[in-house]
A and B are shown apart, each in its own frame.
Chain A
Amino acid sequence: MGLPASLSWFFASFRFRLFAIFTVVTALATTFFVSLYVISEIRSQRNQAAANLHMLAVNLAERLPLPLFAENRGALLQLAQDTAALSGLYSVTITTRNAKTLVTLRQPVLVPQADLLSATVPVISHPMVTSPEEALTGKHDAAGIRIGTVHLETDTLKLKQNSRRLIMTAALISFVYWIVVSVLCYLALRKVTSSFNALMQGLRIMRTGDFEARIEVESDDEPGRAACAVNELGASLLEREAENRRLNEELVRAMRLEVQEEKKQLMAKLIETNRMTSLGLLASSMAHEINNPNASIRLAGQYLTRAWKDALPLLVKAADDEGDFVLGGLPFSVARNNIQECGATIDRNTERIAQVVQDLRSYSLGERNMLHPGVNINQVVKAALTIVRSHSKRTDITIVADMNDDVPMITGSLHQLEQVVVNLLMNALQAMPAGKGMIAVRTSYNQESNEVIIEVCDEGEGIPPETRERLLEPFFSTRIDKGGSGLGLFVANFIVTAHNGRMKFDSVPGNGTTVTIHLPTTQPAKTA
């Protein structure tokens, strides 16, 4: 720690603050009381000087009655000189009661009037002395008779010198007193605050995290008791720290286990996703492989149809000419229509195969993200039903579609919306584990809100209240253990939201669920 830091630490310390406060208070108190003393002493000296002068005047006045009454100037002058010589008076003035000045003694040095202290005392006859008249009647006036006046003056130079000396002495003594008291105070504070320092030292060590350190308890005063408390606190913190460490380790261990579990699930999902990707590729590949022979079949069928059309007049003429004959095990009259229908069937089914393959390719190639105007919701629902019905064929679940032909076109992604409906239908199928029941799909149009509505109703288990709030969370599924990904409703909601639409769930546990999708007919964003 450098010198400035040490000084700063010292100035901020409790000991220094106490010391500073005490020394300042002591200095102020000392100055105050010494000032009071000096002022009082100066006043006292001045009063004493005035009293002395008055007493001197009284003393002189007591010796003056007879010579003053007799106006004996010689005796008066002698008395005045004696008094002035003994007391160092500046002036002595003796006057009669008629204000006639008999004696005036004055020092040759001129002293300003302001620096003079004066006393004027009347010269009175002896108060016990009575006149003959009073003596004969036994009464007399005890006040005496005023014979004249004595006026004394003395300069205050010596008084001022005494005052200056007093001030200097008082200042010196008070300064020495202040120094001594401050030193003693510092020593006392040092002793008193040593326990504080020990406490602070211990706290500093504990602040670094060393709770094993113990503060040495030097006394049973407040800092000592605080040190005991801090020691107990340190021990408690030490125990708490060990407990925390143990809990932390347990927590880390538990988190590791949980992470491992989640990792497993995530890997399972990744594997599933990878599998789905591979499935997509497989589907795409299969579509390609199917499409080629299908095209050949279709072409062949079309050729056979055209050939049949060309051959049919000849065969009709032959039948007319030669009679009905057997063709393909059936009479020509029957077979001619069957063959024509077979051609149509081949054409229709190959077209259907081509369409399915096209859809499969579009699905796998990601064209579903593109939004296009003129999307017919009914077509979306039909396409979804085409996919889902193949899953429901193995059950007793009936899927009923009620599509309103007046539903307007919307702008969106046909395949994304199809995926939404597929997910909802799949959820509806899975909500009926018994494999019985009916699923209704309805489309409608709300003119007021200008929205297209798709409703998927099932008669399944319904959604439990505890599950309802988590329906749209990703990877949340009540069928995780049965292969559910927990992404169906999450993805569906994501797509609907991307189309500026909304999803609503109405479910009564045990009585089925109705999911309603509201899609605006207005132009949404280009891509979802």
Chain B
Amino acid sequence: MRYLASLILALTMFCPSVALAYDVLVVQSKHDPAYEEVLRGFRAAFRHTERVVVLSDYAEVDVYRIVREERPGLVLAIGDNALAAAKKVRQTPIIAVMSLSVTNPSVNQPNLTGIGMYIQPESYMAIFRKLKARRVGVIYNPARSGWYLRQARQPAKQAGVDLIMREVHDPKETLSKLSGLAGQVDALWMLPDTIAVTRETAEAYFNFSQEQRVPVVSFAGAYLGLGAAAVLEIKRVELGKQAGDLALSLLKGQAGTDEIDYPDKVAIKTNQSVLRNLGISSGIFEISVNPAKD
């Protein structure tokens, strides 16, 4: 037992020096190709040393303790669960990516920055303008997407788009709110709002689109196959690079942690068949991707 105790003591003394030798603690919600793409972009933009902790590999991970003991330069949280775990860290900068909740006002804290999943409203307005949609219906939860729509009002006004907004506080309300938009909108704007859009209610948007013959503009290419006419999709590698640039700036002291950025690089994708069925020329979009070939 004495020899074993001596060995454990020796390891305890030598290991910290090794563990502390990295710049970034990467906290990843789970193993996911999309997260790997982001991390790949991050690594490409920011040469650093890192330790990756995938939460789904452990029953419980105390990120705060790791940061306190290992003292990385910053924490990169990839995914909502990773952000939730990293939020306990208050002294080390946190960069959150691939997280829908990062833009919620409730999770705002001084050392937290990152890139949200909401795309700049101007990009959507450009699409609505091309679609010649003057009245754009949007279902949202004020707590999650209210800030975004407040930012979107000005670009919408500039684009001549009249946002017809319906608040929902429970996913069950989505259907009735959608029904209320019948005949009142030229297009439907689907936000990455986890109250307004759920697996149970997402179908209702596309049913509405078919019934009312109005295009749905969404935020992810996965919805193209369900009936979305066009989507603005974040380029994940570019998102990682953007996060890497942000991390570099943070470490150099050139950037603050007071706000969440929009993704810089997005791609527009369309469903040609849906556009054709809705009587919309597909040539209005310079970049279009057929979902069947995606």
Contacts and interface: CB of A to CB of B under 8 A. Distances in A.
Interface of A: 65-67, 69-72, 125-126, 128-140, 144-145, 147
Contact of A133 (B80, B225, B226): B80
6 contacts: A69-B200, A126-B202, A130-B202, A135-B218, A136-B98, A139-B33
A126 B203 contact: yes
Contacts of B202: 126, 129-131
A73 to B, nearest CB: 13
Top 10 A-B residue pairs of the complex, sorted by shortest distance between their CB atoms: A135-B220, A137-B34, A70-B175, A135-B222, A69-B200, A132-B192, A129-B202, A126-B203, A129-B203, A131-B199
A66 B206 CA distance: 12
Nearest to A133: B100
Given A71-B172, A131-B198, A136-B117, A66 B204 contact: yes
Contacts of A71: 172
B193 interface: yes
Q: Kindly name the residue among B32, B98, B197, B207 whose own CB sees the greatest number of chain A CB atoms within 10 A.
A: B197
B234 A139 contact: no
A130 B201 contact: no
Interface in B1-44: 32-35
B200 A125 contact: yes
Contacts, number: 88
A133 B197 CA distance: 10
A145 B198 CA distance: 10
Contact of B200 (A132, A134, A140, A145): A145
B221 interface: yes
Contacts of B218: 135
Contacts of A69: 171-172, 175, 200-201
B172 A65 contact: no
Contact of B203 (A65, A134, A137, A139): A65
A132 B193 contact: yes
Nearest to A144: B199
B223 interface: yes
A134 B222 contact: yes
A51 to B, nearest CB: 26
B254 interface: no
Contacts of B106: none
Given A137-B32, A137-B35, A129 B172 contact: no
Nearest to B231: A135
B222 A125 contact: no
Contacts of A72: 175
Contacts of B189: none
Contacts of A135: 192, 218-223
Nearest to A140: B222
A91 B276 CA distance: 43
B234 A136 contact: yes
A100 to B, nearest CB: 13
Interface in B200-244: 200-204, 207, 218-223, 225-226, 234
A188 B127 CA distance: 88
A137 B98 CA distance: 8
Contact of A129 (B193, B219, B226): B226
Contacts of A131: 194, 197-199, 202
A122 to B, nearest CB: 13
A317 B192 CA distance: 211
Contacts of B234: 136
Given A129-B200, A132-B117, 16 more contacts: A65-B200, A66-B200, A66-B204, A67-B175, A69-B171, A70-B172, A70-B176, A125-B199, A126-B226, A132-B100, A132-B197, A133-B80, A136-B234, A138-B34, A140-B222, A145-B200
Interface string B31-68: 01111000000000000000000000000000000000
A380 B238 CA distance: 166
Contacts of B222: 130, 134-135, 138, 140
Contacts of B34: 136-139
A145 B171 CA distance: 14
Interface in B124-182: 171-172, 174-176
A130 B207 CA distance: 15
Q: Kindly name the residue among A69, A139, A144, A147 whose own CB sees the greatest number of chain B CB atoms within 10 A.
A: A69
A512 to B, nearest CB: 138
A132 B219 contact: yes
Contacts of A147: 200
A144 B221 CA distance: 18
A393 to B, nearest CB: 158
A140 B220 CA distance: 12
A145 B202 CA distance: 12
